[in-house]
Structure 1
Amino acid sequence: MTDTYQPHKLLVTGGAGFIGTNFVHYWLQQYPDNRIVVLDALTYAGRRENLQTLEGQSNFRFVHGDILDQPLVEQLLREEDIDTLVHFAAESHVDRSIYGPDEFLKTNIDGTHSLLKAAKKVWLDEKPGFVHRFHHVSTDEVYGTLSPTDPAFTETTPYAPNSPYAASKAASDHVVRAYQHTYGLQTTTSNCSNNYGPYQYPEKLIPLAISRLLQGRPVPIYGDGQQIRDWLYVDDHNRGIDLIIRQGRVGETYNIGGNNEQANLSLIHELCALLDARFPDSAHVPHNQHITYVTDRPGHDRRYAIDNTKICLELGYMPQETFQSGLAKTVEWYLAQEAFWRGGVELFGVH
């Protein structure tokens, strides 16, 4: 038996980033009678212009601020009468965490704790009995790595994070759980696989490869390219979060996957073939001539895979995009949004 919950006023942290942007657009299209307040620090991967089409709408507000600013979060919860907090804000790039872990620990652990303290104070201490949700968005990387024959991650897989990024997300998951069990905060958590789609900052594998292939530049592949990820189209992820917020059980964790395991090298070859077909007269054809191999990164997890049986059986979740349809949509978006990616970034890698 699942709970039923009806959100009305949402605070979305990190709503100008990749997944958060898509979530905000998705939610207001599905539920135009709801109000969304976005809180985003606008670090390198957050872009206010991602939400430009929503500016001026009565059901949308953007606030430039940091999740570590607990008084600001408390103020927003009170003055907007927020009943639902959806927490996307995070440092999320593994390579960056390897070379600069401090910011990841600060944002992902301390930032999450700051939000939890604000939610506890306003929702529990000041308004006892107030019905609310705190949904925490996490990652499959908290579970560590799999061999080619291991079963996929389930919600009961022991945590074994291998990068500073994964460790910071694992810690934040535990703090969220503690606030639910200790104080009674009404939380849910989702652990997702690799997202892709519109608005993804071009340090991540798919947009990086698209931008470089279109310019005839080398596409770097770590090691032998046989690292396997489960790829989840971003709006399939958002549909899963929607189901969890509305129907998920308080205190529970749900894994959201795309049922699309792909080796990095296979993914890039598929992307090259798609661009070959799209631009047969390009000077860059065949696009796979631009694939280059570079030294593998430290501690690179070999395989992630999500078993999403729980969310499918309990909440009726099912991804709507195949990898082929999602990749085609993603390529078309980037082709139409050249200003978003041109210039790109030199740091590269995958989630």
Structure 2
Amino acid sequence: MKILITGGAGFIGSAVIRYIIQNTDDSVINLDKLTYAGNLENLIKVSDSNRYFFEQVDICNRTELERVFRQHQPDSIMHLAAESHVDRSIDGPSAFIETNIIGTYKLLEVARAYWQGLDEMRKQTFRFHHISTDEVYGDLPHPNENGQALKHLFTESTAYEPSSPYSASKASSDHLVRAWRKTYGLPTIITNCSNNYGPYHFPEKLIPHIILNALHGKPLPIYGTGDQIRDWLYVEDHAHALYQVVTKGRIGETYNIGGHNEKQNIQVVKTLCTILQELRPQEARYEDLITFVKDRPGHDRRYAIDASKIERELHWKPKESFESGMKKTVQWYLDNTIWWQRVLNGDYQLTRLGETNQE
């Protein structure tokens, strides 16, 4: 199979490509604009494969999309290209509207025209797999508010109630994908995942941000009181799940993908400090760097995924526990200083975004 992956130089996209090249006989076309978070160094381990092809293309450029489809003739699409950082969406929502909504629309239209021109056999096997987030569902009751709150989980039928410009733009793209399925018959599948972490994660996100701040002796910022709850999913487990979905998932279905690891942000940060103290011991405790900062606007209190459907139907469940995945992640950043030093030598510094005040 030949799979076109949008956003393949990003954090999750590159993990998917590494998984496919290293574990299957399929070919991959990596289509990526190479924005600030796209990094071809994420793919060094597989970039010399004769089954890997790279196209530097913006998904908003319809002409170039049409060329790529004509040239490479993909059998399936895995759409991961997106602006994804909530804090950035607060500071500048327009890029999220452009990429996540307009870009998805243009990709759907090009994919639809391409799919309609396929012969019947290829038409039957074609898939458009749209990768989304659990943030489209809004937030869940917090145990501080309701002692039974942990029983509430996001399911595939949970109503959408996005809180940030980022999650609203992803919710919009999900709706477009479903509409193209119902109106035009395009064979689509949607997955909504919980918070990912692992190697090659751009350091604006919580876990790599905390690791690198700690290694630089900088404050470890935690929004509010740090009691926000997230379900954490190791990125390589997610990559395996996504491949299961694109190859075995049912057309028109939605699959929630979670790590079964609900943790408060303060627990995550303290776990990282403990692992760092073990792997890179120092006299001053990393935990003493923890600093509580003003919460961001519209911050959801709790996300939690019910991933029983994908386990039941596609026989997938995460291999990594929270503890094993976190230790692998910290070790990776300790072993790959050249990668993150190059990132920090670019436009991004270890600074906070998304401090826009609520009106």
TM-score (norm: length of structure 2):
0.92
TM-aligned CA deviation for residue 262 of structure 1 = 0.4
The structure 1 segments of at least 4 consecutive aligned residues displaced by more than 4 Å after TM superposition are 125-129
Deviations 1:229-283 (Å, cap 9, x if unpaired)?
0000001111111111121110100000000000000110111111111223x24
Aligned partners of 1:83, 1:126: CA distance in 2, in Å? 10
Gaps of 5+ in 1: 1-7
Aligned partners of 1:187, 1:195: CA distance in 2, in Å? 23
AA paired with 2:320?
A: E
1:17 corresponds to 2:22: no
Aligned partners of 2:45, 2:108: CA distance in 1, in Å? 30
Q: How does 1:1-351 map to 2 (within 5 A)?
A: 8-31=1-24, 33-125=25-117, 127=119, 130=123, 131-148=125-142, 149=149, 151-280=152-281, 282-283=282-283, 285-342=284-341, 343=344, 344-347=349-352
The alignment-based identity, stated in percent, is 50
TM-aligned CA deviation for residue 72 of structure 1 = 1.5
Indicate conservation of the 8 Å contact 1:9/1:36, yes or no.
yes
AA paired with 2:312?
A: L
Indicate conservation of the 8 Å contact 1:221/1:293, yes or no.
yes
Partner of residue 4, structure 1: none
> Aligned with 2:44: secondary structure?
helix
Indicate conservation of the 8 Å contact 1:159/1:170, yes or no.
yes
Aligned partners of 1:263, 1:328: CA distance in 2, in Å? 17
Gaps of 5+ in 2: 143-148, 355-359
TM-aligned CA deviation for residue 108 of structure 1 = 0.2
TM-aligned CA deviation for residue 174 of structure 1 = 0.5
Indicate conservation of the 8 Å contact 1:71/1:118, yes or no.
no
Aligned partners of 1:264, 1:90: CA distance in 2, in Å? 24
Aligned partners of 1:192, 1:126: CA distance in 2, in Å? 31
TM-aligned CA deviation for residue 47 of structure 1 = 0.8
TM-score (norm: length of structure 1):
0.94
Deviates more, 1:339-348 or 1:219-228: 339-348
Aligned partners of 1:35, 1:314: CA distance in 2, in Å? 25
Aligned partners of 2:184, 2:269: CA distance in 1, in Å? 46
Q: CA RMSD in A?
A: 1.3
Indicate conservation of the 8 Å contact 1:204/1:348, yes or no.
no
